[in-house]
Amino acid sequence: MNSAKEIIQMLNSGDYLLQKEAIESAPNFKEPEIVDSLIDLFIKTKNKMIEEHITDALKQMGGSYTVEKLLRLLNHEEARVRVFAFEVLCKIGNDNIQAIIKEAENPDKNVRKFIVDILGALKNREAVNVLINRLSDDDVNVVQGAVEALGNIGDVEALKKVIEFLPSAHLWVQWTIIESIKKVNSKELISDVLKLPWEIEDIIFDSIFDMVKENGELENIEDAINLYTKLSTQLRVKIMETIYSIYLRSDKQKIEKILSDIRFFDEIKAILMYGNDNQKFEILKYLGSIEDKDFISFIKSKVFDETVILNTIKLYYISDTFGKRGLIRVFKYFNRSKLVEYIKEIFKSDDDILKLSGLKIIRYNNIKEAADVLPEMIKEDNLLPEVLKTVIELDLKELFDRIYEEYFKVKIDDTKLLMLECMVQLKPDDQRVVALIKDELANELLSDSHILKLLQLIQKIGNKEPFRAQLEYLVNHPNMEISIEAQDLLGS
């Protein structure tokens, strides 16, 4: 193709193949008339493939003229044309950034929204000032787009100005401001947000409490107080979540020292002693979800005295099954004497989820005194893996015989393997364990993964000699991993 004239003729031909060929060649030319012809064809065509080819071609061509031409299409009557112009400008807009910036003052609010979104996609710092000006736009969608664009650009000084709008901004804009600050990940900006003169009236509840103040009756007082109680509890949980998150990724001793001089956990303790049941439940449910042992120990020392423990137990016994599932996880904060006293009650329940949580608490706190509940639970298939895990972690050798007896009643291979692993952990050199593993290895129907697990159990047994013949046979196994493992065991 030798000339722009030829390309334009092919674009106007109406023949799909010729048009496609011309579009693919168009990026080799920069003439404005080719840009005009491509855009005209896009507007006229109903062929989706042609639309896609033209979009790709203009992204490759770019150029100041193309930018100016596409800007005029942002208020086109057809949505597909507006979207086309927007998509290409998000790619090539930096070829004529000043033309785009100029359109930020367009009288059409929809065009202004397109412009701030394009500037956000381009991430060009030249746009910072015009985006800041759009924070006072009459249209909330434009304001939100400007905030998001500034977040994409990542200019910390600009976002400081954005923060000034946070308390009074529309709820959508408030959310976008926070998300934009998160993108930049600046401690300074986070500090600026926290230090704003926040008051309850600054947020959405302003209008709610104004309504009650102006139109409420005697009957509404209790509801207003309950709303405050609910909100203040949720806020405290959010603060605890924040503290815990920072605790996990920071110097734990330093943060404990900071917290020791703050009365926040005294407030938590007071709620768990004197608050209503809903407040207690929300806070205890969150505390139960914490897994870090150091933080649990810290919270225990700051919050869980005898009174709080008794209040928690009372709340547990008046709760429904769902409530109990949330509260039982808090038992790990109890003093050992109280924990032993109440942990056995858990296993009288018919709820397997409660029992699983109880097993986890037994392991977490190393409560061997509660081990007498385990023998009967060995018979419960749903609980068996966790029961065996508990037996291993607490090293309950006295349960070996019981597990051995139950082993012969089990039909599922994976379950038998778990029981065998438990017996190896408890008494690795017991001749009964050796005999069971030998019998298992004699099964020619075992999967490769099952054989490998048995070999790993043999690794834990001191005397490998009883397995010699089987290991020598497995050295020639077609599975290389099994062969190597068997060879290593023979060598050891």
Quick check: 284 and 272 in contact, CB under 8 A?
yes
Residue 3: predicted pLDDT: 85
pLDDT for residue 288 is more than 90: yes
Least confident of 150-154, 223-227, 259-263, 396-400: 223-227
Write down the mean pLDDT value for the chain.
89
pLDDT for residue 451 is more than 50: yes
Extract the tokens encoding 422. 């438990």
Least confident of 304-308, 336-340, 449-453: 336-340
- Give the DSSP per-residue string, 284-343: HHHHHH---HHHHHHHHHHH--HHHHHHHHHHHHHS-HHHHHHHGGGGGGS-HHHHHHHH
Across 23-34, average pLDDT: 90
pLDDT for residue 446 is more than 60: yes
pLDDT for residue 278 is more than 50: yes
> ∠ CA 430-402-415 to the nearest 5 degrees?
85
Across 55-64, average pLDDT: 94
Residue 201: predicted pLDDT: 46
pLDDT tens digit string along 105-134?
999 999 999 999 999 999 999 999 999 999
Of all residues in the chain, the percent with pLDDT exceeding 70 is: 97
E-strand ranges in 175-270 read none
Give residue limits of the domains in the chain.
219-332, 335-427, 436-492
Question: Residue 431: what residue type?
Answer: Q
Across 131-140, average pLDDT: 94
Nearest Cα residue to 280 out of 325, 343, 323: 323
pLDDT for residue 190 is more than 50: yes
Quick check: 67 and 39 in contact, CB under 8 A?
no
pLDDT for residue 325 is more than 80: yes
Residue 207: predicted pLDDT: 63
pLDDT for residue 187 is more than 90: no
Residue 87: predicted pLDDT: 96
Helix or strand (DSSP H, E) at 24: helix 16-25
pTM here?
A: 0.59
If pLDDT is split at 50, 70 and 90, which confidence band does 202 have?
A: very low
Q: Alpha-carbon distance 412 to 454, whole Å?
A: 15
Higher-confidence residue of 241 and 30: namely: 241
Across 415-432, average pLDDT: 91
Q: Alpha-carbon distance 402 to 406, whole Å?
A: 6
pLDDT for residue 48 is more than 50: yes
pLDDT tens digit string along 229-247?
888 898 899 999 999 999 9
pLDDT for residue 397 is more than 80: yes
If pLDDT is split at 50, 70 and 90, which confidence band does 2 have?
A: low
Q: Which of 125-129, 198-202, 222-226, 415-419 has the highest mean pLDDT?
A: 125-129
Least confident of 143-147, 202-206, 223-227: 202-206
